[in-house]
């Protein structure tokens, strides 16, 4: 479940890109068809990458990018009236954003590659509200533990367990991603809470997960909470940490082993949703570019994430998939995925507040 805090290391970069984009847009007409303005998209920091929009960029030029640091920040900005054609939330956020009145349903007949998508991610119940699709999935991956096999030699594919987080042999060598919607949900899964069932995601369940992290923090088990995976990769490389809780890109970037325990990892999917008031022609053109086989191949090769379009997987070998921490059989992996749902709005607000307090030392 992407990228809630990845933007912390991208803010300076994003500001520079935004300024440059505005300047260049003022000098040149980038669109061959949309002669007035490019389509606009509101997405995670670091996702302002033309490669993610494939044929759209070739035909119309770069979209107008705006970024958010976490899903709640993005939602609140849209509620305040920020105007944009598309947003890039994750599947667990869709119902909350629909309730907030910021999204409109998709006309799937206008999505050229809808039938080429893995149904396991395309048809996620969390992306469908009152029988209508609000979510065109793009990227997917896992939230799990990663470990440096040479420094954690007792762990192997036969005995992998999230118990490693608490193993005294890695005391002070555990890094945790600073994201409640990733790390806390994985901890709740580890503690036996079914993160796929909204009625199990109570304040008591939140407290159970928070208190376990607080215990690990206070006894010195956790080295640090990291604001982004790039910092985690660096910490793994310099031996500051040996175990990391994060996303599958860590396997590729750090040479770490991606844990796949018997009770399953937590799987996430993120993608595009149409914002109310959008220019629909531009919105669907961007969606078609982002869900294309070309973007699938690019995302797999350059980002190390899975993509919703099946066709891109023919461009990369099983060994290359394994190197990137992507399942060699995506359909089987997705069908067994632990796709979490978000709790009620009240519990979500409570969760975010409790997580922030714990990370800050409270």
Residue 36, pLDDT score: 65
Query: How many Å apart are CA 358 and CA 224, to the nearest integer?
Result: 12
CATH architecture of 6-140+268-328: 3-Layer(aba) Sandwich (3.40)
For domain 142-266+341-359, the question of CATH label 3.40.190.10 is answered with yes
Residue 284, pLDDT score: 98
Residue 60, pLDDT score: 94
Residue 27, pLDDT score: 37
Residue given tokens 């149409």 in the structure block: 274
225 forms bridges with which residues in the sheet? Answer: 176
pLDDT in tens, 85-94: 999 999 989 9
The residues spanned by each domain of the chain are: 6-140+268-328, 142-266+341-359
Structure tokens given for 49: 């990458």
63 closest CA partner among 24, 90, 8, 27 = 24
6-140+268-328 and 142-266+341-359 share one CATH topology?
yes
The low-confidence residues of the chain, meaning pLDDT below 70, are 1-36
pLDDT in tens, 156-173: 989 999 999 999 999 999
């Amino acid at each position: 479940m992407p990228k809630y805090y990845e933007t912390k290391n991208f803010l300076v970069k994003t500001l520079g890109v935004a300024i440059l984009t505005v300047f260049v847009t003022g000098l040149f007409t980038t669109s061959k068809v949309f002669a007035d303005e490019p389509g606009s998209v509101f997405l995670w920091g670091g996702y302002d990458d033309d490669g993610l929009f494939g044929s759209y960029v070739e035909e119309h030029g770069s979209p107008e990018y705006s970024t958010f640091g976490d899903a709640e920040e993005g939602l609140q900005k849209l509620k305040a009236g920020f105007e944009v054609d598309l947003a890039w939330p994750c599947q667990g956020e869709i119902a909350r954003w629909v309730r907030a009145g910021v999204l409109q349903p998709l006309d799937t007949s206008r999505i050229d590659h809808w039938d080429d998508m893995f149904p396991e991610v395309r048809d996620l119940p969390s992306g469908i509200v009152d029988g209508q699709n609000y979510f065109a999935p793009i990227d997917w991956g896992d939230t799990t533990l990663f470990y440096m096999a040479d420094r954690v030699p007792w762990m192997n594919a036969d005995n992998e367990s999230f118990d490693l987080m608490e193993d005294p042999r890695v005391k002070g060598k555990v890094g945790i991603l600073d994201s409640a919607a990733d790390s806390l949900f994985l901890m709740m899964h580890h503690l036996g809470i079914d993160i796929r069932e909204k009625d199990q995601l109570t304040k008591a369940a939140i407290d159970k997960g928070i208190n376990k992290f607080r215990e690990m923090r206070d006894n010195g088990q956790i080295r640090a909470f990291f604001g982004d995976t790039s910092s985690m990769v660096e910490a793994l490389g310099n031996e500051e940490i040996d175990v990391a809780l994060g996303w599958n890109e860590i396997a590729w970037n750090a040479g770490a082993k991606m844990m796949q325990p018997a009770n399953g990892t937590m799987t996430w999917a993120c993608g595009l949703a149409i914002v109310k008031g959008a220019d629909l022609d531009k919105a669907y053109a961007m969606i078609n570019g982002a869900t294309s086989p070309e973007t699938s191949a690019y995302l797999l090769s350059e980002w190390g994430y899975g993509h919703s379009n099946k066709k891109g997987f023919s461009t990369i070998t099983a060994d290359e998939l394994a190197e990137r921490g992507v399942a060699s059989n995506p359909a089987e992996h997705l069908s067994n995925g632990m796709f979490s749902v978000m709790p009620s709005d009240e519990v979500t607000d409570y969760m975010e507040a409790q997580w922030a307090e714990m990370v800050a030392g409270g």
